[in-house]
Chains A and B, each alone.
Chain A
């Protein structure tokens, strides 16, 4: 019996278990190992290779060849961080970050190369003091000149509920037009962006598509599936609405603009996008890490608009408007002023 058990264990079970071990990638915690781990993580998970190859000729294999000679195991940690950060900048994606204890790298050209088109101090001149406006779920709102309702959404980090939206609509319901200001909103919860868009639909409406990677290949993607926006359960807006955007409108805020433009594309002529092209950022980011313990974030799940078009590099407004330097000096928010005038026509 002992012999039988011993034979069974040694001849069948143990080799089977050893041979079938599921093990992690064996990246060394060296500068070279960290470089290889970063390059491979992006290579296997990043979702815009094909699109960006067509847009500006991104070739991730060529990037490897160009950056590999810059890595040596005796370089300083700061130098390694800089080289790896530079490599991620090749993706031209604000959702790709490398973080260590002392620094986080951001690709910022998606907004730094463009006019700001928003000023906090001018904004507060329009909003007034805290007694002049209301605030709930990260949304500040008031009635402005010409009986125009105004909602400032500076971030989607807060969860927005139907009850919040109902109360806002109850307050602004008598206005003739509505402005949703998502300038310099760098994103947050996609669910909040979807919830806010629910103010403007009266039935479940497909306003975008999302897909995900199904394997490590650059073109291994699932079929795009609809992002359905459900109507808010309380009061909803049925009159003209203008959405204000700038180059710093990014990620979930870009998705909100995409939803609103989708409404327009489906024939809703009460929606207008005004300001500047959004910053983009249409890939939902995932996180990973390097052997050194540095954190990596990258776009993983691409979203497209209702016509299947990419919005990674931004969404153009229907009406371009910008704050001129003279207007900055006069403390005039040209974009907001243009929107109010537009709604009063």
Chain B
């Protein structure tokens, strides 16, 4: 079931646009730290560790005369963090699915730059082991993100190494948030709506995702090492939140033919 869902997400452009082409697929497994702050749950910063999986697919689009690539990203991340005194914890889970297109510019033999737009869907939640009537914060958001990718290929002893950096910055979107002092009992049990869907833009939700990787050929495979920063912040309904996630990533790439 899980595999079928993943395959469906990866094949989204194929199913949506009927395009059958080569796919560059990148699996990344991340481990790192997460700094969590959610003023609905606590005024304090929680620090902890996180584990995540990221799957990125890129392929050349049928349109755009070879200059356009389609892009999908699925990111799942779980975190466990403690308050400064270590007597309360947050359990945090985030799932992110993005898709979009990039326009490609090639500079010389080694450089490729891509810029485009992504549609990003994000869901998740944070559970506090301490609180009573405000024990958790749910998240759900949609945004359009500006996206840029820089690729650099170079040779090391007859082998092609591949450095890649990606930066995605959400621009406009919408997110769910309870009102400042609204309980989930009131929002969901009594179904009282109070500005629970908020428009977001970089001023009230300055966020970014940055992934830098180095792909090294090892025998027939390409092993990836790198760094991923996922900075999610919001300040809506007078509720402030941040999740600063920094991860060391390791993974592999595959080139597939569909």
A contact set with B: CB distance below 8 Å: 1, 5, 13, 16-17, 20-25, 27, 29, 37, 41, 45, 47, 101, 190-191, 210, 212-216, 220, 222, 225-228, 284-289, 291-293, 295, 297, 300-301
Contact = CB atoms under 8 A, between A and B. Distances in A.
Interface in B45-84: 45, 83-84
A284 B179 contact: no
A220 to B, nearest CB: 7
A191 B185 contact: yes
A225 B192 contact: yes
B44 A213 contact: no
Contacts of A29: 84-85
Q: What's the interface size class on B, roughly? A: 35 or more
B181 A22 contact: no
Given A17-B208, A212-B179, A24 B44 contact: yes
B44 A291 contact: yes
Interface of B, helix, strand, loop or mixed by DSSP: loop
Given A1-B111, A286-B181, A301-B182, A212 B194 contact: yes
B153 interface: no
Given A22-B206, A25-B43, A301 B183 contact: yes
A300 B231 CA distance: 30
A126 to B, nearest CB: 33
B242 A5 contact: no
Interface of B: 37, 39, 42-45, 83-88, 107, 111, 113, 128, 130-135, 150, 167, 169, 179-183, 185-186, 189-190, 192, 194, 202-203, 206, 208, 231, 233-235, 237-238, 240-242
A318 B194 CA distance: 36
Contacts of A191: 185, 189
13 contacts: A1-B113, A22-B37, A23-B240, A212-B182, A222-B182, A225-B190, A284-B185, A287-B128, A287-B131, A287-B133, A288-B131, A291-B44, A291-B84
Given A225-B192, A295-B130, A289 B42 contact: yes
Given A17-B206, A215-B238, A285-B132, 5 more contacts: A17-B208, A22-B234, A23-B37, A24-B44, A284-B185
A212 B107 CA distance: 57
B242 A21 contact: yes
Contacts of A285: 132-133
Nearest to A216: B238
A24 B39 CA distance: 8
Nearest to A8: B148
B189 A300 contact: no
